[in-house]
Amino acid sequence: MLRRNEVIQRRRWLWLGLALLLPSYLCLLALSNLTLRNVRIDLTRDGLYTLTPGTVGITSHLRHPIRLTLYFSAHATADAPQLRSYEQRVVDMLREMAARSHNRLRLKVIDPMPYSDDEVSAESYGLTPLSGGSNGEQLFMGLVAKVAVGEEPHADRGIDAQEGRVLTIPLLDPSREAFLEYDVAKLLYELNAPTRPTVGIYSTLPINGNPVLGDRPWTLLEQFRQLFNVKMLEHQQLAHLDARTNVLLLIHPKRLSDDELDGLDQYVLSGGHLVVFVDPYSEVDNAPYVDSSGLIDDHSSNLPRLFQAWGLRYDPGQAVVDRSLALPIELADNSRISHPAMLGLGGGQINHHDVITASLQRINVSSAGYFDLLPGTRSRLLPLLQTSAEAESMPVERVIEATSDPAGLLDGYHPDGNHYVLAARVQGINHTAFPERSAVVGHLQTSTQPREVIVVGDTDLLTDRLWLRFTQSLLGQPQLSALANNGDLVANMADYLSGSSALLSIHGRTTGQRHFTRVQSLQRAADQKFLMKKQELQHELSETRRRLAELQPVKGGTDSGLSPDQKQEVEQFLHRQLAINEELREVQHHLNAEIDALGQRLKMINIALMPLLVALSGLWFAWRRTRRRRIGRDG
């Protein structure tokens, strides 16, 4: 009887506890919504949902209020859950920015209904309307940012001229989600800055495109025009550079006069910021190899006198190859092969301790040159990009000759263990390269403090083909998909040198895509075996042809009538070719078998082993609980 009363008493307390738990839960939920709305914990490996320091710095130091208006056609995207999910991620990020802006950033979300004033407003701001909404409606996914100084009574009255200034992102394309934070932060940065830095660009390459041929400007130049005031310079202007040019990009300089070189030298000594792109072989240089004056142009570039004065050694006749970093390319016969002169730099090849390259993941270069310091120089060379220890330097003529057969670059390949520097800062520049001009009025012989330039041994990295892929987006618009951070690298250089470093941590932001590293390692191992077999076949082919050429003059054989020796030679080669093809198929079979086995193991773990472990754990806890109850009753 006593035990029954105890059971009834426990049940009463249990129901009472449940009755109190429900309102307590509701109160706690309401309290958390009010006090913890902006509190988040980002458990992703790469911090995908955490604002970068550059974004936090920009939003927390806004000098005047900014109104953000997000135009999103929620009604027109009722049947597009992907777009609605993307809109929610956009709103979450904008709210996070607003929470860190000390009430200087205000967000408003508008659903522009068809034929409404909101739709007219979206169109007036130049937002891009897209077709494909519900019932054939056009939809908007754009952002408008407007300076609103007058809304804050204690605003800085010295910037009233900024009031009413408007910048927009016409289309927030979901396929650019990896660049969303950068696009919005750049918008705020441009509104917050009174003026944009001026970047001068001198290039002998067709960076501006060719409207006559329908060639568009390089994407890098278009991005620069969004970030900076860009001035395209002619070579005569290099002799008298404007001091108001914050950064100068010198791309593939060739045959500059002493006056123009002296102008560059004086620009650096007076505190100007210079980035030099040279190349032992620029693959997009469209200058004729021999011009009408008989001058030979090997499509290389160099600044020998300035490099000498800066304590820098650079040989335009040498290019770097690295078999461990070789990029795959497609040949004319649709076969794919790794090109040892086209390198994909990442990980240990990018200096993640430097502010310029800290956030970059991958840089692609092609037929690049390298830099080193001259003996006895006082300059410092701080690498930004470098090769692995598997690299080798070779004459650039070999690289040019191997255009149709990149595997030939590995003939006699002997890595020397050096990490060749492909891009670097050169610090400690103090003296002029033209001391003989000391008598010229105003000519600087030394600088008051050590100067710095950035040098890059490749110009092909600036071209779209090495870091962009043209695709079609979810919304049917032409889309540029970044394969590497080449554009970010150059923008980082200009940002850093111009003093606007807030955007540096946003460039090259990683996405949520994770790679199958184990599968990739298996693929690399098989590729090495495949390449070795292919080289073996090519060697035997060339050797057989050589022997045939030797036999023909002796035996008098022709293509129509082969001698017995030639026939035997050909038969041996054909048999060997079939054998090697069989070995290649066997290598590929083993690769597929290893990858398939790995996939089967993962499936067994995820489908069978993990649920089994969970079930066994549940049974063990149930058995343990029952056993404790029995012991309690027996006690």
What distance in Å separates the CA atoms of residue 424 and residue 433, rounded to the nearest whole number? 20
Return the higher-pLDDT residue of 163 and 334: 334
Taking 90 as the threshold, does the pLDDT of residue 558 lie above it?
no
Higher pLDDT, residue 252 or 289: 252
pLDDT for res 609? 77
Q: Provide the β-strand partners of residue 534.
A: none
Mean pLDDT of the region 372-386: 96
Residue 319 in contact with residue 368, Cβ under 8 Å? Answer: yes
Ranges of each domain in the chain? 53-176, 196-317+368-390+417-466, 518-629
Task: Return the structure tokens found at 363.
Answer: 């840089």
- Residue 545: per-residue pLDDT: 55
Q: What is the pLDDT of residue 156?
A: 46
Burial state string for 44-80 with b = 16 or more CB within 10 A and e = fewer than 16: eeeeeeebbebbbbbbeebbbbbebbbbbbeebbeeb
Find the distance separating the first CA and the last CA of the chain, reported in whole Å.
18
Q: Considering Cα of 431, then 433, then 438, then 444, what sign does the dihedral take?
A: negative
Which pLDDT belongs to residue 448?
86
The residues facing 364 across adjacent strands are: 344
pLDDT for 159 equals: 41
Would you state the pLDDT for residue 157? 42
Q: Is the pLDDT of residue 561 over 70?
A: no
| Residue 494 vs residue 28, higher pLDDT | 494
**Measured between alpha carbons, how far is 89 from 384 in angstroms, rounded to an integer?**
34
Higher pLDDT, 480 or 103: 103
What pLDDT sits at residue 175? 72
Give the SS3 label for residue 314: strand
Average pLDDT over the chain reads 82
> What is the SS3 assignment for 312?
strand
Mean predicted confidence (pLDDT) in 574-590: 65
pLDDT grade for 619, boundaries at 50, 70 and 90: confident
* pLDDT range class, residue 79, cuts 50, 70, 90: confident
Residue 270 pLDDT greater than 90, yes or no:
yes
Per mean pLDDT, which range of 33-47, 201-215, 251-265 is the poorest?
A: 33-47
Give the C-alpha separation, 549 to 552, whole Å: 5
User: Is the CATH number 3.40.30.10 carried by domain 53-176?
Assistant: yes
Among 25-29, 220-224, 581-585, whose mean pLDDT is lowest?
Answer: 581-585
Question: CA–CA distance from 487 to each of 86, 222, 275, 494 (Å)?
Answer: 25, 11, 14, 11
Residues 373-394 have a mean pLDDT of: 96
CB distance 262 to 434 below 8 Å = yes
479-508: average pLDDT: 78
pLDDT in tens, 317-338: 999 999 999 999 887 777 788 9
What percent of the chain shows pLDDT beyond 70?
Answer: 76
DSSP-derived secondary structure for 509-547: ---S----HHHHHHHHHHHHHHHHHHHHHHHHHHHHHHH
Same fold, 53-176 and 196-317+368-390+417-466: no
- Two tokens, residue 236: 């005569």
- 201: pLDDT confidence band, cut at 50, 70 and 90? very high
pLDDT for the residue 154: 45
DSSP for 200-260 reads EEEESS-TT-BTTTTBPPPHHHHHHHHHSEEEE--GGGGGG--TT-SEEEEES--S--HHH
pLDDT tens, residue by residue, 239-250 = 999 888 999 999
pLDDT in tens, 501-512: 566 566 545 444
Q: For 9-13, 164-168, 234-238, 488-492, which range has the lowest pLDDT when averaged over its residues?
A: 9-13
CATH 1.10.3470, applies to 196-317+368-390+417-466? no
Please say whether the beta carbons of 134 and 75 come within 8 A.
yes
The four Cα atoms 565, 568, 569, 571 give a dihedral, to 10 degrees, of: 160
Residue reference for tokens 């600036």? 462
Length of the chain: 635
Q: Per-residue pLDDT for 134 more than 70?
A: no
Of 50-59, 484-493, 622-631, the least confident? 622-631
